[in-house]
Amino acid sequence: MNVMDDLQTMNPESAILARVIAPDEGTFPAQAAEALVGLSFPQPDVERMNQLAEKNRQDKATAEELAELENYSRVGNLLNLLQSKARQSLGNG
């Protein structure tokens, strides 16, 4: 997936980060790239995201829960951008 091709569908904050990070340019040192590729949400966070997403699908999420879900989404977008650049840096783009 080419992250830069998705700029038009990203929220403005993620689009700015995508331009700054330039995920299609593999310029991370190998050790840094390997560390970034290995990052993931801890299982309790994955479970919480799933709970929040389900409540949202059922239209039962509170404003606070929607804000929390958006925060997870923003962190996930940043992680995706960094990992995309890391994979490019490792030649696994």
Question: DSSP labels for 1-21?
Answer: --GGGGGGGS-HHHHHHHHHH
The pair of structure tokens assigned to 34 is: 């390997």
d(CA 1, CA 17): 17
d(CA 46, CA 74): 14
What's the whole-number mean pLDDT along residues 12-21? 89
The pair of structure tokens assigned to 51 is: 């709970």
**Using an 8 Å Cβ cutoff, are 52 and 68 in contact?**
yes
With 0.75 as the threshold, say if the pTM is over it: yes
- Model pLDDT for residues 29-85, shown as the tens digit of each residue: 999 999 999 999 999 999 999 999 999 999 999 999 999 999 999 999 999 999 999
Burial 14-49 (b: 16+ CB within 10 A, else e): bbebbeebebeebebeeeebeebbeeeeeeeeeebb
